[in-house]
Chains A and B, each alone.
Chain A
Amino acid sequence: MKYQLEVSNITKSYGDLKANDNVSLSIKDSSIHALLGENGAGKSTLVKIIYGSLTPDSGEMKWANNNYNPKSPFQARENGIAMVFQHFSLFESLTVEDNIILGLDGIGLNENFSEQIIKYSKQYGLDINPQQVVGDLSVGARQRVEIIRCLMQNPKLLIMDEPTSVLTPQEVADLFVTLKKLAADGCAILYISHKLEEVREICSEATILRGGKLVQSCIPQEHSQKELAEMMIGKKLTELARNNITVGENIFSIDNLSRKSDDIYGVNLEKIALKMSKGSIVGIAGVAGNGQDELMELLIGEISSPKTTLIFNGQDIGLLNSHERRQLSMFFVPEERLGHGAVPDMSLDENMLLSRPDSTEMTSHDVIDWKKVATHSKKVIDTFDVQTPSSRMLAKSLSGGNLQKFMVGRELIQNPELLIVAQPTWGVDAGSANNIHQALIELADKGSAILIISQDLDEILSLCEQIHVLSEGKLSDAVDMKSNGLEKISQLMVGGKV
């Protein structure tokens, strides 16, 4: 058996922290190889070493049986390694086409470039308009740009960091077809994901890391999803279940809410209507870029809504800003972590102050009590198991999943009467996702209402009693799940009617 890439005994330390401790990994020719591990397990470090953006302290790598010591990602790309990052590296002010050109190191450029992009995008089922400006794209569409950019380099090894977190079941299926085709064509794939079902579906081998060390390499089909998750986190998982579904009186309603997008590529919202009761978990499913961002802005209060369209506990809240809405016990977790829900260059303590109802006493008359702030952020860090040396660390120094735990936790400790959360577990590993889901369920059991806007259909199906679908700016009625529910949802997601 030939190996495309062999990594042996890699060690990499940051100060006292061993991010990779004697890690080995071998990727066979034309295989799809999974890299599994919790946040902070060392997956990113290992991948960065393979991709040339980090140099290991010790250990060696072989690329097609030759010694391989990339000094930069440029060298890695020259060798035929391409990567789709979890945090996208796209210039928001440039078009899709320009972004792809910039990522190609000048290889294979010609005048019909945008046709070439369209050709690739059709071939791999990744819908994209090359002339669109990336800043106007949803997260899902941005990821499609990243994937196409890599595929255009005809790589020998494609590294994919959490690629399916924002795709619909249909898109995931399409992507898998693409990946299988690539693998069959001789391109090995290193597939980083926390979705164990996917890993079991398409990966022929899996390497599991925990705390920087290799736990084991195995064939994923020989283990159950639960077993894989437990290998990853090193302890038992809790089963999710609602203890107490007592659906109470109406708490929040959206009525006839429309918004014309001020952006030509944006989505216009049309007559959105929704009713939520106390103690209920309501889900809005849908493909990224169908109005989720626009709706979330209105719900948070970043943009005000017309009178009588948003009613919370009998009060018209359309004109209130987000701070005023929080005073009424509405809390929000936006989809984008860095730069929206958290300020990258500020400490976790400072980030606590982004959502600060007066009841927390973190501020009084706008004067900040930093001791109280630190107590609250400590509580979030402890309760939600955020891996960080201290609450003074900058938000950007946390891994994506850890920051997500912090952001969800920050809102959950306020015991909101209504929590509106977009993509609660995007990029979060199985163990942490389990904790976040558990916390959401406990909150609803206590009688709070939760609105989840997510592209992760599994998440919505496992948590929500009432499911709507957002498609092209229109929100469906609650889907009757008693017969063929999943089929109806899939149909609604692609713009069909039930």
Chain B
Amino acid sequence: MIRLIPRVENSTAMVLLSPLLALTLTALSAYLIFIFVLVDIPVSSVFFTLFVEPLIDSYYFSELLVKAAPLMIIGLGLSIGFRAGIWNIGAEGQYVMGGIAGSAVGLYFYNVEALWLLPLMTIAGILGGMFYAGIAAFLRIKYQVNEILVTLMLTYVAVLFLSAMLQGPLRNPSGFNFPESRIFHDSAMLPIIWEGTRLHIGLIVAIILSFVAWFGIKKHMFGMQIKISGSAPRAAKFAGFDDNKTVWYSLLISGGLAGLAGLFEAAGPAGQLTPGLPSFYGFTAIIVAFLARLHPVGVLFSALLIALSYVGGENVQIEYNLPSSITQIFQGMLLFYFLACDILIKYKVVFFKTKN
């Protein structure tokens, strides 16, 4: 018999061990699935392509980092909002709106080559995301509308708004009516930090932001405010925090960062605004935030892990002709095992023989 006994104190060892355990269980389950699914292909070589190749091949590794950067940036914003109990589920929409707003600025100054252009686009991208998340904040404060519904539904509006823009004002005038924008000039593009790859400065921005967020959450009353508001709203009032401000902060920060990531994607790997901008990063970042237990530095690592599953998943798709849903299966199992293993932090497992 196995029994779960509550621990007197949370186990610190398990806080660190449970992600590793989840990872092992995910790999084990993936292995079992492959045994059933694969015919003629050795499981070990699929495993190699899925988990190892992206780490040892420099091109794949750079792609892994390219995919990790937006996940980190969005995941950071979400982890702050989730701490406050503000459930911004529509980072995808804010990401798209940020991409549109920033790209629009870049396209407006299409003929201008100047150092100020990229910073201006960045600001526009952030404001675009903030504005979009701000709608949910306004509706929640003014009319008590649930932010989960508003942010989620606005995501679909954002995607449609993107195609409207690409069929209309932002379409490349000499692009044979393809729904794509012009290709950005060099000064509207993010600097590359690894020569010969698509890896751009967004990764460095993400790392800096994660430490800023860490400071804000651990060392500043702002972090206390969102944490207290999230877990005990009355205590937040007792402490003198304004709960409306908490809603604003949470949504504006997560929306702004999602917008920033959207602009970075357009002005980075894409180099133009295309209908392919919405790439599920906004939703996947929810997994990233939870895998990191909403810890701002942890987000960096969980984003790398999820990015690995993206790159590895694409590779097995190309090399072995496996379905693309491999990636989602992997991500889903990881989150499931992760949440399940977290029970070991609060409970210990006791094995005992049944008396009879």
Give the B-binding residues of A (Cβ under 8 A). 14-15, 17, 300-302, 321-326, 332, 334, 336, 338-346, 350, 353-356, 363, 366-368, 370, 393, 397
Contacts and interface: CB of A to CB of B under 8 A. Distances in A.
Contact of A340 (B8, B9, B222, B234): B234
Nearest to A296: B238
Interface range for B: 20 to 34
B72 interface: no
A346 B239 contact: no
Contacts of A350: 224, 227
Given A301-B240, A321-B242, A354 B234 contact: no
Contacts of B231: 343-346
Interface in B235-284: 235, 237-242
Given A302-B238, A340-B238, A355-B239, A346 B222 contact: no
Given A322-B240, A343-B235, A354-B235, 14 more contacts: A302-B234, A321-B240, A322-B239, A324-B240, A340-B232, A341-B235, A343-B228, A343-B232, A346-B228, A350-B224, A368-B218, A368-B221, A393-B9, A397-B9
Contact of A353 (B8, B234, B239): B239
A192 to B, nearest CB: 23
Interface of B: 8-9, 218-222, 224, 227-228, 231-232, 234-235, 237-242
Contact of B224 (A324, A326, A368): A368
A339 to B, nearest CB: 5
A323 B240 contact: yes
B235 A366 contact: no
Contacts of B237: 300, 302, 322
Nearest to B225: A366
Given A340-B234, A344-B232, A353 B240 contact: no
Given A363-B221, A368-B221, A368-B224, A336 B240 contact: no
The residue among B219, B222, B228, B239 with the most chain A CB atoms within 10 A of its own CB is: B239
Contacts of B222: 366
29 contacts: A17-B8, A301-B240, A321-B240, A321-B242, A334-B238, A336-B234, A338-B232, A339-B232, A339-B234, A341-B235, A341-B238, A342-B235, A343-B227, A343-B228, A343-B231, A343-B235, A344-B232, A345-B231, A346-B231, A350-B224, A353-B221, A354-B228, A363-B221, A366-B220, A368-B220, A368-B221, A370-B219, A393-B9, A397-B9
Contacts of A324: 240
B111 to A, nearest CB: 45
A344 B232 CA distance: 8
Nearest to B224: A353
A302 B243 CA distance: 11
Contact of B239 (A323, A368, A397): A323
A223 B308 CA distance: 73
A79 to B, nearest CB: 22
Nearest to A353: B224
B227 A346 contact: yes
Contacts of B239: 322-323, 353-356
A332 B238 contact: yes
A15 B5 CA distance: 11
Contacts of A355: 238-239
A38 B9 CA distance: 23
A363 B221 CA distance: 8
Contacts of B220: 366-368
B222 to A, nearest CB: 7
Given A366-B221, A368-B219, A368-B220, A326 B240 contact: yes
A353 B240 CA distance: 11
A56 to B, nearest CB: 14
A367 B219 contact: yes
A87 to B, nearest CB: 15
By Cβ-Cβ distance, the 3 closest A-B pairs, closest first, are A323-B240, A322-B240, A366-B221
A350 B217 CA distance: 12
B219 A354 contact: no
A270 to B, nearest CB: 24
A356 B9 CA distance: 27
A324 B241 CA distance: 11
Given A321-B240, A322-B240, A323-B240, A339 B235 contact: yes
A354 B238 contact: yes
A300 B222 CA distance: 21
A323 B245 CA distance: 15
A393 B10 CA distance: 10
Contacts of A346: 227-228, 231
A374 to B, nearest CB: 14
Contacts of A340: 232, 234-235, 238
A14 B6 CA distance: 10
B201 to A, nearest CB: 29
Contacts of B241: 323
Given A343-B228, A346-B227, A346-B231, A300 B219 contact: no
A338 B232 CA distance: 9
Contacts of A325: 240
A323 B221 CA distance: 12
Contacts of B218: 368
A136 B21 CA distance: 45
A394 B29 CA distance: 36
A321 B236 CA distance: 11
B227 to A, nearest CB: 7
B348 to A, nearest CB: 11
Nearest to A344: B232
Nearest to B221: A366
Contacts of B240: 301, 321-326
A14 B7 CA distance: 9
B342 to A, nearest CB: 15
A174 B321 CA distance: 79
A350 B225 CA distance: 11
Contacts of A342: 235
A393 B239 CA distance: 20
Most buried by A among B9, B235, B241: B235
Nearest to A322: B240
B173 to A, nearest CB: 51
A103 to B, nearest CB: 23
Contacts of A354: 228, 235, 238-239
Contact of A14 (B8, B232, B235, B238): B8
A186 to B, nearest CB: 36
Contacts of A332: 238
A213 B94 CA distance: 61
B172 to A, nearest CB: 48
A15 B222 CA distance: 37
Nearest to A334: B238
A64 B240 CA distance: 54
Nearest to A323: B240
Contacts of B221: 353, 363, 366-368
B55 to A, nearest CB: 37
Contact of A15 (B8, B224, B232, B235): B8
Contacts of B234: 302, 336, 339-340
A397 B242 CA distance: 28
A396 to B, nearest CB: 10
A346 B222 CA distance: 15
